[in-house]
Amino acid sequence: MIDRKSLLSLAAAVLGAVVLGVLVKDALREPQTIRALPKAPAAAAPRPVSLPGGATLDLAAPPERLLIVHFWATWCAPCVEEFPGLLKFWKEFGSRPGLDLLAVSVDGDWKTVEGWIAKVGAGGVPLALDPEKKTALAFGTDKFPETYVLSPSGKVLEKFVGAVDWSSPSVRNRIEQLRQASTTDLSGG
């Protein structure tokens, strides 16, 4: 027979394990995919982002092609770790019709971003800058990295929270499905 002291010790140990499990559960999670997002209020419409050379791009306007919008920063460890995979993905997928990518840095200036890109040899990914994080916040992003896949009409089709394994067959297959569907929709087929 178990005495009262042993029973209390066992109950405390079980409670501790449950609390520990709740606290660390997100650390073991894969990036979250969200398929349906609520529409952002008009006041939160994305602001234009800066492109290299001084031009801007209004992400509130429909992209007319499938657009992957990836929010990241050079000071974000998961972003830095993920970036080579994004670069490799884009080198393999970038020539496919009907698909665009925009890696939107929330760093403070182009000098920081371009210096980091040159230092790690990550050129080739289309870049934009959102130093005040207004566009990121309008999308609902306040932690980085996060990635959105927008339809040609501007609807959010996918949202990836956290770093993405860009070599994952499931990620690549999903992007390809969305690309083919949007290309078919645009051609009227």
pLDDT, tens only, 1-15: 667 676 556 555 555
CA 86 to CA 28: how far, in whole Å? 21
Specify whether the CB–CB gap between 171 and 68 falls below 8 A.
no
Q: Which residue has the higher pLDDT, 183 or 38?
A: 183
CA 69 to CA 116: how far, in whole Å? 19
- Percentage of residues in the chain with pLDDT exceeding 90? 62
pLDDT tens per residue, range 122-174? 898 999 999 999 999 999 998 999 999 999 999 999 999 999 999 999 999 99
pLDDT tens per residue, range 62-112? 898 999 999 999 999 999 999 999 999 999 999 999 999 999 999 999 999
> In this model, does residue 45 exceed pLDDT 70?
no
Alpha helices in the chain (DSSP H): 4-24, 77-93, 110-120, 134-139, 169-187
Entry pTM: 0.76
Specify whether the CB–CB gap between 179 and 99 falls below 8 A.
yes
Per-residue pLDDT, 25: 42
Give me 8's structure tokens.
Answer: 């209390």
Specify whether the CB–CB gap between 144 and 106 falls below 8 A.
yes
Q: Which residue has the higher pLDDT, 39 or 50?
A: 50
Per-residue pLDDT, 31: 45
In three-state secondary structure terms, 142 is coil
> In this model, does residue 18 exceed pLDDT 50?
no
Per-residue pLDDT, 180: 92
Domains of the chain: 30-187 (3.40.30.10)
- 32-39: long-range contacts (C-beta < 8 A, 24 or more apart)? 32/159, 32/160, 32/161, 32/162, 33/158, 33/159, 33/160, 33/161, 33/174, 34/158, 34/159, 34/161, 35/157, 35/158, 37/140, 37/156, 37/159
In three-state secondary structure terms, 100 is strand
